[in-house]
Structure 1
Amino acid sequence: MTTCPNRAPAPPAQPAVLSARPHRPRGTVRDPRPPADPRQQHRPRRPRHPRAACSGGPDRDPREGLSVRFAHRLVEVLTGARPSGQLLRHTTLDCYGQLSALVRAGTLRGPGGAGRPRLGPVHDRSPSPGAVEACVRVDLGSRHHVVAFRLEPRGPSGQWQCTAVEAR
């Protein structure tokens, strides 16, 4: 290795010093108030399951709100606001074929972009314990459409999937 005659030698490396203060990203403010209960100060936090907030409790019906959530996503696919591939794992193969045909036909696409769709109340019923049938009215500008679908638990995990869809 050659040294440059005009350069000063580099200073010796300093050992790394670890700060006793934890790292806090810029712009965040530490709460100066101590906790009300001093025992809570050193208590480790329990990890929270990400879906814990979604499960309303052990007595809550898992189908509650299922048809409303699926109706919103289905209408977004039918109007072109969401790609149809996002519903692939939530539909059976036959239903995905029906959905793709409805998207290609442009059933819920108004001329000249009718604006954002407004969904009416989702009416659902359970003809059997393993099925939910639902329909929803969709307002696109001055036009009104109806979307109906059927959900059933499928596969070893019992995940709810759409087995039939129809839009007019």
Structure 2
Amino acid sequence: MTAHLPARLPARLPARPHRRPRTVDGGCDPAGRRPRHPRAACAGDPGHDPRALASRFAHQLVEVLTGARPSGQLMRHTSLDGYGQLASLVRIGALRRGGAADRPRLGPVHDRSPSPDAVEACVRVDLGRRHHMVAFRLEQRGPAGQWQCTAVEAR
């Protein structure tokens, strides 16, 4: 079976569409929205929702604890003590999977904010027939106010 090819290619390929021009204030959108940056989720902007932050971090943390994600990916989002606790939990296999088909299911993330620059959260994780609890604390640190995990527990 032979594919039908055009007898001749066009002399000039169409030009690629241009990106949106930058506005005067450096944004990419005339509506005033700024481009999304990978660290935007961890930046300490005052309008940031701690509940959404705790939920996103809980998912990433459980992926690390179950072995679906390498722990090094959370290194810059944890303090030195927090990373030590996380590495220890990974090493002892705190959230072991019962089998290859067992996928972790997270319950609702329960969070509270003891101060404006700290969030404490916990989440129930179902792995097959086993249930685990994961608790962690996030604090705003450094001159940029980046959120970092300072403590992790899993049972």
> Is the structural similarity TM-score above 0.5?
yes
Letter in 1 for 2:134: V
SS in 2 for 1:112: coil
Contact 1:125 1:132 survives alignment (8 Å): yes
The counterpart of 2:55, out of the listed 48, 61, 68, is 68
The answer for the alignment partner of 1:151 in structure 2 is 138
Contact 2:98 2:128 survives alignment (8 Å): no
Change (3 A) 1:114 1:99: farther
Rg (Cα) greater in structure = 1
TM-score, normalised by the number of residues in structure 2: 0.73
Contact 1:114 1:140 survives alignment (8 Å): no
Q: How many equivalent pairs are there?
A: 130
1:69 and 1:99 map into 2 onto residues whose CA distance is 17
| Structure 2, unpaired ranges of 5+ | 1-10
State, as a whole percentage, how many aligned pairs show the same letter. Answer: 71
The answer for the alignment partner of 1:125 in structure 2 is 112
Which structure exhibits the higher relative contact order, with contacts defined as CA atoms closer than 8 Å and separated by 6 or more residues? 2
The counterpart of 2:35, out of the listed 50, 53, 64, is 50
Superposition CA RMSD, Å: 2.8
| Structure 1, unpaired ranges of 5+ | 1-17, 26-42
2:106 and 2:98 map into 1 onto residues whose CA distance is 19
Contact 1:131 1:153 survives alignment (8 Å): yes
Is residue 66 of structure 2 the alignment partner of residue 79 of structure 1? yes
User: 1:61 deviation in Å?
Assistant: 3.7
Change (3 A) 1:105 1:157: same
SS in 1 for 2:107: strand
TM-score, normalised by the number of residues in structure 1: 0.68
